A = this chain, B = another copy of it.
């Protein structure tokens, strides 16, 4: 309680909610406010508006602005390029997600099939075994617990 330190706190905010006015957003994105207006006019970004008409930028907007900043300043793209690249990156993102999903789905399917196969093997194997010295077939469960992988026929007992 003696000394006060500056403490950074974090407020949880919906990343799509408009919270920054243009001067703040511009500073966060390291851009001129007028540039933000220009980008909006070109359709690169769409901040919300307050009832009075003041632009309100969300967290997601600021991130997008930073991505644009990176492309224009670091890579030297013009705005037409930025537009196209953002589109392509979104497509790539979708493709990548589909790939992951398909991989998961495929693996799950494999496992299910393996399980089914095993189940079928067991069902045939476990059900019937020879009993004593006779030729009679009885349920394995009546004799002993089933062991590993010893498939046994039982066609003969089924009602034709």
Interchain nearest-CB distance for A62 vs B (Å): 22
Instruction: Specify which of B99, B116, B126, B156 is in contact with A130 (CB 8 Å cutoff).
Output: B156
Q: Which residues of B contact A110 (CB under 8 A)?
A: 109, 113
Copies per complex? 2
Q: Which residues of B contact A128 (CB under 8 A)?
A: 153-156
Interface string of A78-89 (1 = CB under 8 A from B): 101110110011
List, sorted by A's number, 27 A–B pairs whose CB atoms are closer than 8 Å: A77-B84, A78-B81, A81-B81, A88-B92, A92-B92, A99-B99, A99-B102, A102-B103, A106-B106, A109-B110, A113-B114, A124-B151, A124-B155, A125-B155, A126-B155, A127-B153, A127-B155, A128-B153, A128-B156, A129-B155, A130-B156, A135-B136, A137-B156, A150-B155, A151-B155, A152-B155, A152-B156
Interface residues of A (CB under 8 A from B): 71, 75-78, 80-82, 84-85, 88-89, 91-92, 95-96, 98-99, 102-103, 105-106, 109-110, 113-114, 116-117, 120-121, 123-130, 134-137, 150-156
